[in-house]
Structure 1
C-alpha cells in the first residue's frame, strides 16, 4: 500500500513527538532521582534532547506537513469547483437537449419519451390519456410576408398561451416548425375537446404587432384519447389525422377522433 507524502510526514512528526516525550520523561526522572535510562543521570542531557526534538517537530510541521496539506486543500477546492461546474454544465446540456430553444417548451425527443412513460404508467392504473396536435394556420404566409423574426414572435406567444391553459402534469412540446402537441393524462374526450377549443379561441384573440400592422393567427387541432392498447405512434397518427380533418374543413377548428 502506497502512502501519500503528507501521511509519511505525519508519521515522521509523530515519531519525533514520541521521542520528545521519552526524553522529557527521562529528564524528569533524572531530575527527581527516579529511574535513569542508559545510566545517564544528567537531566540536562535529556532536557536538551527533548528541546531538539521539539524544534525538529515544529520545523517538520511548518516546512513539510503544512505546505503539503495546504497544497492538497487548494487542489481539492479547485477539483470541487471544477466538478460543480461540470455538473451544472451537464444539467444545462441535458436540459438543452430536450428543450426547444425558441419557445422554451419541450422538444419532440422529450415528448416521445414522456409519451412512452405515460402509456406505461397510466396503462397500469387504467386511466385515459389524451393527445392534442395543433398546427398554426397559414404560418408559411406569415414568414414569407413579415419575415422570420415576426414568425418567431408568433410561435413564442402561442407557446405562452398553451402554457397558460394546460395543467402542471400535462406535457407541452413543440414538435417542429409550427406544430405543437399536448399530452394530457386522466382526462375525458369532452374535457380534452373543451380544453383544445379554449386554446383555439385564445390563440385567435392574440394580437402580434409588426410595425403598424396587427397580425391575427389561428390554429387547427386534432385530438384522440388512448384506447388502452395502441402504441404511442398509433395514438399520434389518430390525433394527426384529426388535425388534417380540421384543416380540410376550413381551419381554425378542433376535430376529435
Structure 2
C-alpha cells in the first residue's frame, strides 16, 4: 500500500510528537526519583541526565514544529489550491457551455449532451488537465443486443430503454463529468480527476446499475446490459486517439461476452 506524500509527512509528524511525549514521561519519572534520592552525588548525576532529556524533548518538539510548518502545511495548502483551480475550471467550462446553442449540443431523444458536445468537451478537458497535470478517464458504453429490443418490441420501447439508461447515467455521475449519447445505443462519460483504479470501480457500479434496471413494455419487463470500455489519458495522445483506445476496449468487452468492463 503506497501512502500519499501528505500522509507520510503526517505519520512522521506524529512519530516525532510521540517520541517527545515518551522522553517527557521518562523525565517525569526521573524527577520523581530525584525527589526521593538522599544521595547527593546520585541526585546531581540524575539532574544532569534530566537536563539532557529536557534538551532532547525541546529538539524533538522543534523538529515537529519545523516539519509541520515547512512540509505538512505547504502540502495541505497545495492540495487546497489544486482543488480551487479544479472548481474554477469546472465553473469556467460550464459557463462557456451555456453560451453555445442548446439545441445543437443536446440529444433530442434523451436530453443528454450529443456527440458534438462530447467531442468539444473532451478536447477542452484534455487541454486544461494537461496544464494542471491531473488524470482524465473516459468510459464508452454500448447496450448489449439492443437491435433485438427494437426488432422484438418496437422502436418506441427501444426509445424508452435509451431514456432509462440516460437517466441512470445522469443519476450516477458527478456534476463536472461529461455524459453524452454518441449515437444509437452508444454513450460516453468523461471523468476528470479519476485514475485507472477509481475509473474501473466507477464503471463497474454503472454496469451493475444498468443491469439491475427494468423497463416495462406492456406486460413485459425488459432487462438490459451494457458493455464498457475504459481508458485513462496518457497526457500525450490526442482526443481522437484517446477515444479510439477506449473504443477498442469496448469491442474487447463485446468480444469477451458482453455485460463487462474492459480497461
TM-score (norm 1): 0.63
CA distance in 1, matches of 2:121, 2:216: 35
- How big is the shift at 1:93? 8.6
Which residue matches 1:247?
254
- How big is the shift at 1:164? 1.0
Q: Does 2:132 align with 1:96?
A: no
Which residue matches 1:9?
none
- How big is the shift at 1:253? 0.2
CA distance in 2, matches of 1:96, 1:137: 28
Q: Does 2:128 align with 1:121?
A: yes
Alignment of 1:176-191 (within 5 A): 176-191=183-198
Which residue matches 1:135?
142
CA distance in 1, matches of 2:229, 2:128: 24
Q: Deviations over 1:167-201 (max 9, x none)?
A: 10000000000000000111011111111110000
Which residue matches 1:225?
232
Q: Does 2:164 align with 1:146?
A: no
Q: Deviations over 1:32-52 (max 9, x none)?
A: xxxxxxxxxxxxxxxxxxxxx
Which residue matches 1:209?
216
CA distance in 2, matches of 1:120, 1:94: 22
CA distance in 1, matches of 2:257, 2:100: 41
CA distance in 2, matches of 1:124, 1:231: 15
Q: Deviations over 1:6-43 (max 9, x none)?
A: xxxxxxxxxxxxxxxxxxxxxxxxxxxxxxxxxxxxxx
Matched residue SS, 2:101? helix
Q: Deviations over 1:38-71 (max 9, x none)?
A: xxxxxxxxxxxxxxxxxxxxxxxxxxxxxxxxxx
- How big is the shift at 1:94? 1.1
CA distance in 2, matches of 1:129, 1:184: 6
Alignment of 1:1-257 (within 5 A): 94-256=101-263
Hey, which bits of structure 1, 4+ residues long, moved more than 2 A? none
Q: What is the count of residue pairs matched by the alignment?
A: 166
CA distance in 2, matches of 1:175, 1:224: 17
- How big is the shift at 1:92? 10
Matched residue SS, 2:237? coil
TM-score (norm 2): 0.62
